[in-house]
Structures are given as structure tokens and as C-alpha cells.
Structure 1
């Protein structure tokens, strides 16, 4: 199973369309918020199940603030992250995930790609495909793959560049 995780597109649906073309076939798409417009259009062009949550800029969209999903054997929390103070780190998010038994947490808001694989919980941020903030400011997304043994693997990709299938 192959899942595309994106965040913080801020209405730049042309970037979402470009990433979808770049990564090829996917089984699911997750958007970690700050969609800003075109949620129906995004669902249409994804051509697969889509999980989408509201970010702090999604005033006019009827999206949940968080979503719990099952991906293979993994219990996953999708959130934008601003309610967990992620600009100051992922401590609150990690505590929440551990308290509620999540295996994986996906968040956005910071526009900075992040992967923390822990013994009890994995915390992921795809970065932003439209307005990156990390050094070098390359637009990023994340691919989560579930292998034949049911194990998850994660890798960031760079939008508009060749995606290297190196998985962690």
C-alpha cells in the first residue's frame, strides 16, 4: 500500500496536481491541513480515498480538526498540529499519541519536513508542497509504504524533482 502525505498547500491546488502526477499510483492521500480551497477538487483529482483535516487557515471548509484512520495494522492520527503547539516541538503531540495508543501521527503547520521513528510512536510531517520553510526551502511531501510483511516505511520526496525511493 502506498500513501501520499501532503500538507500546507494553501490553495495551490496546481501543486497538489503536480505532486500526484510526479509520484504516480497511490492507494490513499492524506492532507494534514491548510487546504484553504478546493477540497472537493482535490478529492476528485486524487482518484483514491482521501483523508483531509482542517488547518488553522481553513476557516470556510467543513473539515474535521483531526481524523483517526487505520492504515494496515497502524492506528494513525492525522492533525494539522497547531493545537499541539508543534511550532515549539512535538512533545505534546507525542504525549497525546502515547495516551491514546496511536502508532503514527501525521501533522503539518510548521512547513518543515520531519520524521521521528520511536519505539512506541512515529511522528511525521510532510513539510509543505507550496510554501516550504526548512533550509533550502524545497517543496516536500511524504510517502508511506506498507510492505508485504505489513511494515511501514517512510521517505520525503521533493516536489518538482526526481523522487528517490529510499525508504527508512
Structure 2
């Protein structure tokens, strides 16, 4: 199973579409963790599990709980959980909803870590990245042997091997 995870595109329609077009035939689902700054009916987000970020005016849901191929994904932007400082509040919420994988954005910093048997994934920002000079996004992979991998990509679609992780 492969899931494309994007966040914080801040109105970048063309770049968002480029990333989706690049990977749409190899993923089972596409997630946008908020701050798309697009309307709910935007063609760029058709079929994409999208939540509302702090910069979104459109009435996307604040959170989505979605099972994908046997894994429960909890999707949120993260601003209500103070994710720029700690994942503790987000961890509590993910426990409440029974999530296996937590996808969030807001900080514009890509990261992935396992804590309390949950995998936390922030794909970074496609438009305004922090700590790197290029936009980033991620693909989550659940392999047949049940190992999990988070692969980070730069805006041009190059794998960022030094930041990708297997769990």
C-alpha cells in the first residue's frame, strides 16, 4: 500500500497537480494535511482526503479518520494541537480515535517518527519549507512484510534518501 501525503501548498495549484499527476498511478490514496488555500470543490483536490488548515477559508473538515487497507489514518493540520512545540496533544487525540498513522502539517518541517506504536508523519510544506531549500512531500508505504516506510521527495520528485525512514 502507498499513500501520498502533502501539506501546506498555500494556493500552489500547478505544483500540487504536478505532484499528484507524478504519483497518482502508484498510490492507493492521497492526503492533504491542510492549508491548501483552495475551495472545497477545487479540481486539484478531487478525490483527495483534505482537512482544513489555519489559513484555509473553505469549510474542509478539521480532521478525518480513514481506514486505508487495514490501517487507521488520523489526518489533521495540527494547529489545534500545538504541533510546532510537541506531539503530545496530537498523540492523545490519536489514542482517542484509535489511529495507527497520524498525518499532520502546519510546521512546514518534514518529520516522521514512531511513538506509542503510532507512526507520525509530517510531509513538510510544498510551497514554504522550513529547514530545507525545496518543497517536500511524502509517500507512506506498507510493505508485504508489514514493515513501513516513509519516503520524502523534493518538489521536483527526487527522493530525499537521507531523510527517508523504514520502521
Give the alignment's TM-score, normalised by structure 2.
0.87
Q: Does the 8 Å CA contact 1:73/1:150 hold for their aligned counterparts?
A: no
Q: Does the 8 Å CA contact 2:19/2:157 hold for their aligned counterparts?
A: no
After superposition, residues 116-131 of structure 1 pair within 5 angstroms as 116-131=113-128
- SS of 1:88's equivalent in the other structure is coil
Q: Aligned partners of 1:43 and 1:148: how far apart in 2?
A: 29
Q: Aligned partners of 2:23 and 2:165: how far apart in 1?
A: 14
Deviation at residue 147 of structure 1 after TM alignment: 2.2
Once the two structures are superposed, residues 67-106 of structure 1 have per-residue CA deviations (whole angstroms, 9 ceiling, x without a partner) of 0001222111000000001111211111221233211110
Q: Aligned partners of 1:106 and 1:24: how far apart in 2?
A: 18
Q: Aligned partners of 2:68 and 2:22: how far apart in 1?
A: 23
- CA 1:9/1:112 → structure 2, altered by over 3 Å: closer, same or farther? same
Q: Aligned partners of 2:160 and 2:111: how far apart in 1?
A: 17
Deviation at residue 32 of structure 1 after TM alignment: 0.2
Is residue 41 from structure 1 mapped to residue 43 from structure 2 by the alignment?
Answer: yes
- The RMSD of aligned alpha carbons is 2.0
Q: Which residue of 1 aligns with 2:85?
A: 88
- SS of 2:95's equivalent in the other structure is helix
Q: Aligned partners of 1:100 and 1:24: how far apart in 2?
A: 28
Q: Does the 8 Å CA contact 2:65/2:97 hold for their aligned counterparts?
A: no
Q: Gaps (5+ residues) in structure 1?
A: none
**One of 142, 150, 155 as aligned partner of 1:154:** 150
Q: Which residue of 2 aligns with 1:98?
A: 95
Deviation at residue 146 of structure 1 after TM alignment: 2.4
- SS of 2:17's equivalent in the other structure is helix
Comparing both structures, which one devotes a greater share of its residues to helix? 1
